[in-house]
Amino acid sequence: MITLFKKQLLITLGIAAASVFAFNSQSVQSVSAASSKPLTFGDITNNNLHRMGTIRQLTRSQLAEDHKLTGKQVQQLVYLPLPKRLTAHNFTLSQTHLTIHLVKNAYNVSRVAIPLNKLTGIILNRYMPKQYDYVKPKTPKKVVSLTFDDGPDPTLTPKLLKILKHYNVHATFFEVGSSVMKYPSTSRLVLKYGDQLGNHSWNHPQLTNLSSTSALHQIALTDAAIYKATGTLPQYVRPPYGAINSRVGNLFDRPIIQWSVDSRDWAYLNTPKTVSHVLATTHNGSIILMHDIHPTSVAAVPQIIKTLKKRGYTFVLLPNLIQRPLLSGLQYFGRGDYRGV
């Protein structure tokens, strides 16, 4: 009897060990060895809807990267049927990719494979190979991020990019889709200089005053313009005037970038006043809002950079400022200051 019990125990342990080996060494269907139930989005995201929304947007971006889409197809990406419930389990997790299995759709695509290096910090570490574990980026003690709205401008934006390059500073440009359509080469130049692009709507309305359909159309049109110009989809959205609510904020699966320092360059249209205001209100972890469509604003940038550097600040892009993955449906005002919508 004891011998039989030992044999059964060894068989059980052997099956469990084989299950663990299969998960760690080869592409697998998302199955928990302990429960034999499929892994869900809730399991791999710690039941976090913001992480799940981020995965949805990464699915759209990867589809656009893998397949050359028309502008109309990019506009329709926001309507791609993707799971919203944390209990959904239509994915496969391997050592290299998270593959999303799609239902029938207008793109005739049955699956989208997202490389795991894009999911670091989105999927929990325990479900990822060790090389993809999320590690908080190390940054200097005093950091700020520069952001510019309302471009691209065919003259001022290239001039600003040269200034930023001269001082070895990178920034995020939140562009208006109608201007991207007019000046696509300027948008491409932003990426060429190593800076980031964000979505700032099609023609700068207050999104909260629009119907959900119209607000989403503003974002989708701008996605299409940026994709046509650069071949990429913008990772972030900045709503015009910073106006957002839960109805609008939950329409698109992206981080919402606000600010903690409003340069008021749009009101002053005066270089010394803009410089003075930014220097007086900037603190560690600030996101600084400026515009690359006013000559007085662009002229203020060298003095702002030089003075803040003398004060010990380092200019970093948003992921290094926030020091954590930026998630869908959250508003980011600066380091340590993020909120739901």
Exposure string over 151-190, b if 16+ CB within 10 A, otherwise e: bbbeebbbebbeebeeeebbbbbbbbbebbbebbebbbbb
Question: In sequence order, what DSSP letters do the residues of 313-332 get, joined into one string?
Answer: -EE--HHHHHTS---TTEEE
Of the candidates 195, 291, 292, 294, the residue annotated as catalytic is 291
Which is it for the CA torsion 263, 269, 274, 276, positive or negative?
Answer: negative
Half-sphere exposure of 256 (CA within 13 A, CB side): 26
Q: Are 143 and 313 in contact (CB under 8 A)?
A: yes
H or E element that contains 52: helix 49-66
Contact predicate 236/259, CB 8 Å: no
Instruction: Map residue 53 onto helix, strand or coil.
Output: helix
Taken in order 174, 153, 64, 23, the sign of the CA dihedral is: negative
CB-CB contact of 175 with 218 (8 Å) = no
Tokens of 34: 């302990």
β-pair type (97-101, 111-115): antiparallel
Asked whether 125 and 136 are in contact (CB, 8 A), the reply is no
Look up 195 and say whether it is catalytic. Answer: no
In angstroms, rounded to a whole number, what is the distance separating the alpha carbons of residues 336 and 333?
Answer: 8
Sheet of 111-115, strands arranged across = 28-29, 91-93, 97-101, 111-115
Which position among 149, 150, 195, 253 bears the catalytic label? 149
DSSP code per residue over 259-309: -SEE--HHHH--HHHHHHHHHHH--TTEEEEEETT-HHHHHHHHHHHHHHH
Say what the alpha-carbon torsion angle 76, 80, 84, 88 is, to the nearest 10 degrees: -170
Enumerate the active-site residues: 149, 291
